Every structure is written in C-alpha cells, then in structure tokens.
Structure 1
Amino acid sequence: MEFERDLIAVLLVVESVNDKNKLLYKYEEIRTYKRIQEPVTFYTPYSIVIAKDFDPPSVKDDDASRRTFLNFDETTLSILTSPYSYGNHVEAQVDDVIFVGHTLGLENNKNLKSFAIFFALRAIAKASVILSYQEMSKRIGTAIRCEEQRASYLNQEYAKLISVIQQHDIEANDRLVNRIPNEDNEKEREEKDQTKQKIYSTMVEQSVLAATLKQIYIDLQVSGEINITINNWLNVSCCLPHRSVPINCPLDTDQVFHVLTNAEQYLKPYYGLLLVIDPSALLASLPTDSSSTLNTLVRHLRSSYSLSRLSIETSIPLSQIYRLTAHLVYWGRAKIIYPIHDDNIYIISPDADISKQGSLSRLYKETFQNTSNYPTLQEALAEYSDAITFYDHISRNDNETDLRERLQCVEWLLRHRLLIQVHYYYYLLLPNDDRSDFKDEYKQTRLPRSRAPLVRILSEITPLRE
C-alpha cells in the first residue's frame, strides 16, 4: 500500500474577535528523528557562512520537509496561516514546506472572525495536488461554517480546545516554578515536545472536531479519500484524484488531473466501463442520499456493454451516463475500456508484475482459489502470450461455467492492468484517384518529400583551370 507522501500535517487555525490568528490544533505523524550534531569548526576572518535556512527542496529525502516542519513553533505557524482576505485560497511556502488552505469568514459571530483548515505539504508537490487540497479545505470549511450557523458547532469546539490549552498552561507554569536551574536544553526541548503531543492527544479525546481532523489525516494517508460527517449532520466526501492513477501511467500528474476533471468530454459511446472494486462493496459504500441513477448503473453494468448500450438497458440518457462514468473514474472506482468481445486481442502488459512472490499473485490465488482452469497467475497470463483473438482462447469443450470463469479472469487481469488490448488501424489510400485535389493532398501528406540531387548540373560546375 502506497501512502500519501506529500501530506505532512493538518492544522486548524482561528481568528478570534479579541485576538490575532491562532493555531488551535494540529495533527501530524509522530516520528522520531535523531538530531545531527554539527561538526566543530574554528572561526576565521576568511570563513564563509552558508545560510541553511534557504536550502532548496529535497526530492530524494522524503523526511526533509517533515524535519523542517518540526522546527516551526505555534507562533510561526499562526503567522504563516494568517488570512489576507476571506473566501480565497491561501498558499504560503517556507523552505521545503508549503501551507495550503481556504480561509472562511464568520459574520455576526461574537467570538470568532474567521477560521481555516490548512494542510502542510512538501514544496515539491504538483500544482494539481495543491489545488486538490485547497478545494478539500474549502469543502470541509464550508460544512463547518454551515454547522456553526445552524448549531454554533465551531464555538462549542473552540471553547473545548481553549480549555485544554489553558489547563496545560497552568500545569506548565507550576513545573516552571519547581524547575531546577541550569537544566539541559536538549532535555527541556524533549519535554516540550512531549507536552505538546499530550495536549493534542487530550484535544482528540475531548473535542469531536479534533478527532475528525485526525481521522481526515489518517484517511488521506491510507486511501487518499475522506468520508466524514460534521457534527453528525453534514456529510463531506472528497478524494485526491492523483491517488487513483496507476503507477505505470505515462502521463504527468498534472496532465492526469486535467483528464480526470474533464473526463466527460473525452468519453465516446463505444467505450466500456469496468469496475475496479466489487459492485456490492461499491453499493454499500455509497451514502444514503446517493443518486438512485448511480445505483441503477452499477447494477446493470457489464464489461461487454458499451456506454450507448448501457443507456438503452437502463433507460438513462447518454449524457447522464457520461457524467456518472466520469464520477466513477474520478474517484478511482472504475476504468475506461473497450467492451470485451470475441474479436478483441489481449496481450501481457509490458509493466505487468508476473513474479510468483508478488502481491498480485497472492491476490489472484485468493480470488480464483476454486477455479480449475488457471490456478495461478502465471498460468493465466501464459494464455495471452500470443496475439490471438479472445474467441480463439475459448475451447470447444468449455461449458457455461468455464466461459464465465474465463471472462472473470480477463476482467480481473484488465482491472489490475496486467493485460493490454491490441488495436489494428486500417487506412484506405487511393493513389490512382482521378481527382486532382485528392492527388495534391495525398502528395503533401502521405508521399515522402523528394530529396535534393546529389550531383549538380554540369553547367553549375566550375571547370578546373590548368
């Protein structure tokens, strides 16, 4: 399982009526880093001091941005996330860490002026990834603001979090009075870090909003999707579309994001749709207020159906079929294929993982443990070593059960991108056509350009003088 590498932390910042911007809560993955001791050097008037605060973002070191984020205290984070205006995307970068969010103002509120959900990311994150997090921050913040207007949800959670901070401040002052002078700075720094982690852990136990933000971070790290309920009332579902992109995709992340967000305009009636998860699991994961048309589409979906035939079978307009298909592809629940027919030709993908110890081999055994035709993944792929039609793979002795297993096997291999389809393209060329305009067009587009003669004309050659 691949985790989200760009996400560092999630933050909740608020701007109260009587105070400036304040970091109220943050959650990050707890990791322990060894502090690197700086080598002892002797100062000379000719030495050059290198400013380490302006190191370029590291591409190879995934933990460099996390170590940089640990050096930011709460005051610095509050300044970096201060809103310049309300209702706009906010983006601030310091070294190899970038903060993205969407600040929302609160009107006619006695305690708070604005708030925002911020995500700390690696600075080398793609522009499409940053935009996805900003839109996610906007949707989460909008739901929280609606609950604040309906039931004062944010004010209640704000009071809980502030009380936790005040309680720990009192305990910290008591320890400061009883602290032994000349205590080790390293030990004091570790105690402060442990105290902060204790504060945030207490916030999660006492505040529903803090627990929700923690769950958002975990879900984004694991699956790249969130499906949360704000104040047990409003459902918020978001996803990072770049997480649904296959690892062997030749396109750049930004290009794939553009295709996924505009997938509806790329669809054709002769395309097919293949679910990448079990249909029953997909129906179970849909919210209660989901579209009934989507449920109808999933129940009638077949890998041998084109989108136009799906429209006929379900009595759903083709334009709506396009919208539902684009939605499933955007969320990584389905992929676009050509409908499976007898004339299709499938071969092994050049990027296929065919190792016996791989995760796909184990998953194949679990999925097809009761089949007798192809007990292992390697035997199933060996059937498609030659570029022959799907009909030629079918034996005359195959019954309906064998045909169904063979179709399910092809669907599974296509779903995990182990097979690719071979296409033949035929071009009709008419070089002897009598139409002069066609001849000119054919000469300009199809015929190779005439090469310059290698030998000059005799009149152009200067005679040699004796």
Structure 2
Amino acid sequence: MDADPLSIFLVKSDSKGDRLLFKYPYKKSGPGTSKDGVGGDGQSSWRRKTNPYSLILPDDSHSKDFRGGFPDEVLSNLFAVKQELCDAKFELKVNNVRFVGHPTLGQNCSRKVPKSPSKPIMLVNVVFALQAPASHSIVKCYYELSKQLGVALRHEERRSGYLTQQIKLMIAAQDDRAEDSNPDNYKTFEVIVDQCSLAKDLKKVYDDLCNHGLVQLRVNGWVYVGFCLPHKVHYLHNRTVKVSPEAITKYMENVKPYHGMLLLVDAATLMDSLVPDCSPTLTRLIKIYTPLKSLQTLAADADLTLRMVCNLASHLVYWGKAIIIYPLCESNVYMAAPNNVIHTSSPLVEKFGETFPGQNLIQTIAEFSFPTSIRQMMSPINGNDHCNAQVIIWLLQHRLLLQLHTYIYYMPTNRGLPQQEQASGGGGKSEGSICELSTPSETMSLSGLESDGESAGEDNGNWETEDFLARLSPEERTTLINIPASPHQLKLLIRLIQLNYLLGDHHLEDIMYLENLRRSQLLQLLDKFREVLITCEAEDPTLDMFYPQR
C-alpha cells in the first residue's frame, strides 16, 4: 500500500564532510535502469535507449523494491542540509519518490576533551523514501517518526557518545570494503548490520513498518521510541477501509459518554505489550475493562474523569487496539456487515473454528442475515445456545457484525410532517461530544443523574399541552386526542416533538441518555402512539468509520 516505506537512510554531516552511513533495503542495482529512471552507473535511461520507436512505459514506483539508482554521494548531498534547515521538516520529491526526514543538529561528544568549550557540530538525518502520491497525512506521520529517532539519537549522543561510536563503526566497515578489489555495497551494509546496533534498529524500523505499522524499540537500550502508522494498522484489520489520524480525531469527537469500548486484542496480551513506564491510568482502565460498560461507567469504576477515559480510548483506537461500540446488552440488534466476503476457504473461517471448536463461521453469520437482537439469538427456544456473548464479541472485533439502532419519525398525517414544522426543525438539545465533558459534575448533569426537580414526564411550564395542540391542524389534533394514552405519555410525546428528537436524527439510546429515560418508557410510547410514530433501523453514522462503505 501507499503507506509502506520504500527505503530508509541514515546520513551524517560534520567537519569531515557528509556521508551516507546506512540504507535499507540494500539490494544490488541491476545493469538495467532502476525505478527512478537512473541506471546503476548513474546514467539516465534515455542515453541507453537504442530504438527511437520503442514504447516508453510510465515510471512505476508502487513497489517496495527501491533500488536506489542514485549514487551514495548524491544521496548524502541531498539529505545533508545546511544548519539553517535543521530541526525542521525535510521533504524532497525526485521523480516518483518522496523523501521525508527531520535533520537533527547536535554536538559531537568527545570523551577525550570533556572540558572543551566548543565541541564539533554534527548533523544526522534519518530519511524515509515514500511513494510520490503518498497523502499529506502519511508524510506527516513519517516526519514525526524521523523526528523521534533524531531526538533519541541526540539524547544518546549527549549521554554516552552512542552516535559517534556507531558512526565510527559504519565508516570503518565502509572503508574496509572499499579497499577490496571488488567492493560491493550489498556486502558492506550487511557487515554494518552485523556490527552496529543502530543499523539493526533502523532495519527493524523498516521491517516493522512494512509488516504491521507499529514501531517499538529502545535506542541504545535506553530511549524508548514508540510509533504507530494508523493507515497501515487499520488497513491490516480491514483492507476495505482507509483510516487517517485526522479521521480518528473526528471520529472520537462524535463519541458520547453512553458509548463503550471494545478491545481488538486480549486484555492480558495488551497489558504485556505496554512499556514498564506507561501511564498508570491506562493500566487501571484495562484492568476494569469490559464491553458491557459505557465509557461513563468505566470512568466511575476506574476513578478517572470522563475526559481522561476519552483520551485513553482515543489512544487505543489510534494504535488499532480498540474500537468504539455501544455496550453489549440483550436489546442490541445486529446484522451481518455489508461488503464482507466470507467463503469456505477464508482465513477467518479457520480462525473462528480454532477459537470456538464445533462451530461454523458461515452458519453463525447466516443467523444474522436479518436484524437480530442478542436476546433472540440466545433464546433456548430458537436453539441458538451456541451463540454466546463471546461469539458476538469475536464477530464485532473482526467487523463481521453491524449494530442497528432504532430511529423514530413523527408522522401526524398521511402526508408526513407539516412544512412549517420541518422548516423550524433544529438540532434539539445541544448534545455535546464526550471530549467537551471535562469534570464529573458536568457528566452527571448531562446524564440526568443530578436531578433539579424536573424530568421528562413532568410539565415544567415550557411546553403546555394545550398550546401545542392548539397550533396543530384539526386533522393532527383529532389524531392525537383519539389515541388512548395517559396525560403523562402525551406530555412526554409533546416534549420529544418540541426538542426535535422525532425527526429521525436520534436513535433510542441517544434519546434515553439525553433525556434520562428508560427504554421501557420509550417502548411504551411507541406502542401507544404507533399511529403517528414510525420507526426504522439503521447503523449509527458516528461509528461506521471502521466498516466497509456500501
């Protein structure tokens, strides 16, 4: 994919000149033209073209085999920038290759002259070669990784002279191979990898980015470098969706406190992958995690603020360790996710059989061909005892199930809602994203737990039943009056209409949270006013980012 790096380079520049110390992959340049349009000898390909009528194919750099047709001296001159351009973003596009880095300036640590007031200046630049069409989001991520590596190397140079030591080993290996009668860069870089820990780290960075998009290493066994390329990580989870950091940020802004979190990996495995000095709040959240609880409940159980839980959940989503769902309960309705192709030879079929022996994935998915609630699936009357909560969780983790929510429309007449009411429709109450709730008091107030003397069923004087009915047309007024409902239920319906909750923009769970209502109250309302209330089931648009788009 476009997010994979083509190559990684390490360049230094000091008083002795600039030099390309290491590059990976270090494959031999063939006798023909490289993918950059430059041959192994540095000559342009058009000079060797003998047939003037031959077809000129477009350059194809969409391959991870970057042969580096440029000589090492050219690359070192390109990447060793002036001091004025250090500690800033470095980006260079040559043909179909884009080079991204962060030149870092530091002082050469000389243990022989520790009291020297003026130490020599040294520049180091870790550069990534990317495909030219790579998006701005991908380029920004690689720049951040190059910056992390540069800062880590500068820190280790000041602490122990690590970078100077590694540079000496790399230069010595290159000089030794240059003295041979038949020097080979391929063998030179192999020797460098065997002798230098920094070269091993850079090779590991490249391999990890190409394999799973996660980088976790300690430079010189001391400075931790952690990096996630979300484009790659989420692509491996689902190859039909494209995820970027900006999309994740927008996604988390729409999350409400009643939403929950679903880990994509085992909690014990996630705990083992954390670094020893990670945030204790993260470990506390993982220990009490369950997909049955909302973010608000998790915050209360972990003794954390809602904002903190939101930030931790966003961090886990970014690293591809979790997704946001509605907490599991018996009333949840699911159906098979669209655009997910499952066949008998699919790897998921074998994986499902290993996780749940005696069960078949295709048969389980077929049971969700129509919208089905968990209560229906687990009912012994239907003979579905094998479909337990763990199966539902596994299917949600692999994006094979899509949750449907019930949306309500107020249809007082056969022609629908009057035009004047549609035009005056606003957004109802200000919902507010989860990230806007910073203190427990705000959370309790919005959730309705802090009672101020009014509820959804009480008439507080703002919405008078008589005034509302007086503004209706005779047909609408007759329809509502003839419905055998209690005054309390009629007041609740009018309240929801006035707050624009019945325009199909809010599902049941959203209304329950915003108005502090029980599900039974809304279900009774739907039953009493079924002549004017129409329901439909659809997915929550705020949570469909990680599902294939239809």
The match for 1:199 is 188
- Equivalent of residue 277 in structure 2, options 271, 282, 289: 289
- Equivalent of residue 370 in structure 2, options 386, 396, 406: 386
Task: Describe how 1:314-329 pairs up with structure 2 within 5 A.
Answer: 314-329=302-317
Query: How far off its partner does 1:74 sit?
Result: 0.2
- Closer/same/farther in 2, CA of residues 313 and 350 from structure 1, 3 Å limit: same
Task: Describe how 1:103-118 pairs up with structure 2 within 5 A.
Answer: 103-107=103-107, 110-118=119-127
Query: How far off its partner does 1:243 sit?
Result: 1.5
* Letter of the 2:81 counterpart: P
Task: Describe how 1:100-179 pairs up with structure 2 within 5 A.
Answer: 100-107=100-107, 110-171=119-180, 175=181
Moved more, 85-94 or 31-40: 31-40
Moved more, 196-205 or 24-33: 24-33
DSSP 3-state at the match of 1:62: coil
The match for 2:204 is 215
Query: How far off its partner does 1:62 sit?
Result: 2.6
Asked if the contact 1:9/1:121 (under 8 Å) is kept, the reply is yes
DSSP 3-state at the match of 1:423: strand
Q: Tell me, in whole angstroms, the C-alpha distance in 2 between the residues paired with 1:291 and 1:397.
A: 47
The match for 2:422 is 442
Asked if the contact 1:353/1:418 (under 8 Å) is kept, the reply is no
DSSP 3-state at the match of 1:118: strand
Asked if the contact 1:57/1:123 (under 8 Å) is kept, the reply is no
- Equivalent of residue 307 in structure 1, options 278, 281, 295: 295
* Letter of the 1:140 counterpart: L
- Closer/same/farther in 2, CA of residues 70 and 419 from structure 1, 3 Å limit: same
Q: Tell me, in whole angstroms, the C-alpha distance in 2 between the residues paired with 1:5 and 1:251.
A: 14
Query: How far off its partner does 1:261 sit?
Result: 4.3
Query: How far off its partner does 1:441 sit?
Result: 4.9
- Equivalent of residue 396 in structure 2, options 414, 417, 436: 414
* Letter of the 1:442 counterpart: Q
Query: How far off its partner does 1:82 sit?
Result: 2.5
Asked if the contact 1:57/1:124 (under 8 Å) is kept, the reply is no
- Equivalent of residue 239 in structure 1, options 223, 228, 234: 228
* Letter of the 1:11 counterpart: F
Asked if the contact 1:14/1:112 (under 8 Å) is kept, the reply is no
TM-score by length of 2: 0.66
Asked if the contact 2:337/2:400 (under 8 Å) is kept, the reply is yes
Q: Tell me, in whole angstroms, the C-alpha distance in 2 between the residues paired with 1:358 and 1:125.
A: 30
Query: How far off its partner does 1:427 sit?
Result: 3.0
Asked if the contact 1:117/1:141 (under 8 Å) is kept, the reply is yes
- Equivalent of residue 41 in structure 1, options 27, 47, 51: 51
The match for 2:72 is 74
* Letter of the 1:305 counterpart: K
DSSP 3-state at the match of 1:114: strand
The match for 2:23 is 26
Query: How far off its partner does 1:30 sit?
Result: 4.1
Asked if the contact 1:104/1:115 (under 8 Å) is kept, the reply is yes
- Closer/same/farther in 2, CA of residues 350 and 31 from structure 1, 3 Å limit: farther
Query: How far off its partner does 1:29 sit?
Result: 6.4
Please report the RMSD computed on the Cα atoms of aligned residues, expressed in angstroms: 3.1
* Letter of the 1:291 counterpart: S
The match for 1:366 is 354
The one-character-per-residue Cα deviations of 1:248-300 (angstroms, maximum 9, x if unpaired) are 687655xx320224555332101111111111111100011112211121121
- Closer/same/farther in 2, CA of residues 246 and 208 from structure 1, 3 Å limit: closer
- Equivalent of residue 11 in structure 1, options 9, 12, 22: 9
- Closer/same/farther in 2, CA of residues 324 and 101 from structure 1, 3 Å limit: same
Q: Tell me, in whole angstroms, the C-alpha distance in 2 between the residues paired with 1:260 and 1:57.
A: 33
Query: How far off its partner does 1:428 sit?
Result: 3.3
- Closer/same/farther in 2, CA of residues 133 and 443 from structure 1, 3 Å limit: closer
Q: Tell me, in whole angstroms, the C-alpha distance in 1 between the residues paired with 2:151 and 2:423.
A: 61
The one-character-per-residue Cα deviations of 1:145-203 (angstroms, maximum 9, x if unpaired) are 111111111111111111111111222xxx2xxxxxxxxxxxxxxx66xx101100111
TM-score by length of 1: 0.78
* Letter of the 2:6 counterpart: I
DSSP 3-state at the match of 1:425: strand
- Closer/same/farther in 2, CA of residues 440 and 29 from structure 1, 3 Å limit: farther
- Closer/same/farther in 2, CA of residues 410 and 31 from structure 1, 3 Å limit: farther
The one-character-per-residue Cα deviations of 1:210-248 (angstroms, maximum 9, x if unpaired) are 111111111111111111111111111111011232476
Q: Where does structure 1 lack aligned partners over 5 or more consecutive residues?
A: 176-190, 433-437, 447-466
* Letter of the 1:155 counterpart: T
Asked if the contact 2:334/2:404 (under 8 Å) is kept, the reply is yes
- Equivalent of residue 322 in structure 2, options 318, 334, 345: 334
The match for 1:187 is none
Query: How far off its partner does 1:311 sit?
Result: 1.1
- Equivalent of residue 260 in structure 1, options 248, 254, 262: 248
The match for 1:343 is 331
Asked if the contact 1:4/1:220 (under 8 Å) is kept, the reply is no
- Closer/same/farther in 2, CA of residues 398 and 237 from structure 1, 3 Å limit: farther
Q: Tell me, in whole angstroms, the C-alpha distance in 2 between the residues paired with 1:35 and 1:112.
A: 40
Asked if the contact 1:431/1:439 (under 8 Å) is kept, the reply is no
